[in-house]
Amino acid sequence: MIIQIYAFTDPKEAAAAVEMGVDNIGFIAGKYGEVFAELTFEEAREIARAIPAQGTSTAITMAVDVEEILRMAEYVEPDIVHISSEVDQVNLEAMRTIRERLSPDILLMKAISVEDASSVEVSKQYAEVSDLLLLDTSAKGFPGVGATGFTHDWNVSKLIVEEVKIPVILAGGLSADNVQKAMEIVRPWGVDSNTSTNIEGSRVLKDLKRIEEFIQAVKSSPLYEPGRGLRK
C-alpha cells in the first residue's frame, strides 16, 4: 500500500512529507485551472529534484497535446506522469503514443472518473496503455478528472481493482476520517489525498498536520502493508 499526496508547491514541504511517510509526491506541472496550484515546468522540476530517494515524484498534467505532455516529461523528469484530462481528450491512441515515446524510466498513469458500471470497461481499456490507474471523482465546474474533494461509489472502484492487471490508486475525497473504510471496500494498491490535506479554505497550500493524520489513519489500518513504488 502506498500513500500519495497532491498537490505540493514547495520543495521543502514535499521533502518533509516524504520523511513523514508519504510515498508519492504529486504536483501540477503546467496549466490546470485558475483555482488550483499550478507550477511552471521549472518549479515542477525543483520539486521533483527535492524529493528524497525513497519518494516518488508524480507530475500531473491537464495538457491534451501529446507533444506538450512529452516536453513536460522531458524537462521535469518525474518518476510518474499523471494524465488528468478526460478520457475523450487524451484517448487510447494518444496514450499509446505517449507510452511508446516516454522515457522507459518514467511511468504513465491515467486518471479515470468513476461514475457507474461503465467506468469498469473504460478502466480496462486504459489499463492496456498505462502503467497505473488513478480512480477519482469528476464534478461540474472542475476541469479534468479529480481535485473535487468528493467521493464516488467505492463499490465500482472495487470492481475496477478486481478487473485490471495494473496497480490502482484510489482518490476522490479521501481523508483521515474515511480512508480506512475506502481501503476496506476497494483494496487498492495505493490511496491518494489532495483537498483534505490542504490548509482549511485553500486549494494551493498543504497542511503538514493533516498529512500526518492521513498517514496515521492509513498505517493504523489492519489492511496496511508497507509498499514502495513500482521501481524503487
Cα of first residue to Cα of last residue in the chain, in angstroms, is: 14
Helices 118-127 and 92-101 pack at an angle, to 10 degrees, of 30
**The pLDDT of residue 131:** 97
What average pLDDT does the segment 129-152 reach?
78
Is residue 28 scored above 80 in pLDDT?
A: yes
Buried b (16+ CB within 10 A) or exposed e, 78-90: bbbbbbbbbbeeb
CB 60 within 8 A of CB 82: yes
> Which CATH class name applies to 2-219?
alpha beta
**Residue with C-alpha cell 463499490?**
155
Q: Which residues pair with 206 in a beta bridge?
A: 198
Residue 87: pLDDT band by 50, 70, 90 thresholds? confident
**Residue with C-alpha cell 491512441?**
93
3-state helix, strand, coil in the chain (%, to 5): 35, 20, 45
Those residues with Cβ within 8 angstroms of residue 141's Cβ, 6 or more apart along the chain or in another chain: none
C-alpha cell at 186: 476497494
Q: Which residues pair with 58 in a beta bridge?
A: 26, 80
What average pLDDT does the segment 184-197 reach?
95
Those residues with Cβ within 8 angstroms of residue 43's Cβ, 6 or more apart along the chain or in another chain: 9
Residue 53: pLDDT band by 50, 70, 90 thresholds? very high
Helices 179-186 and 208-219 pack at an angle, to 10 degrees, of 40
Is residue 35 scored above 50 in pLDDT?
A: no
Is residue 140 scored above 70 in pLDDT?
A: no
Phi, psi dihedral angles at 10 (to 5 degrees): -115, 120
Do you know the residue count of the chain? 232
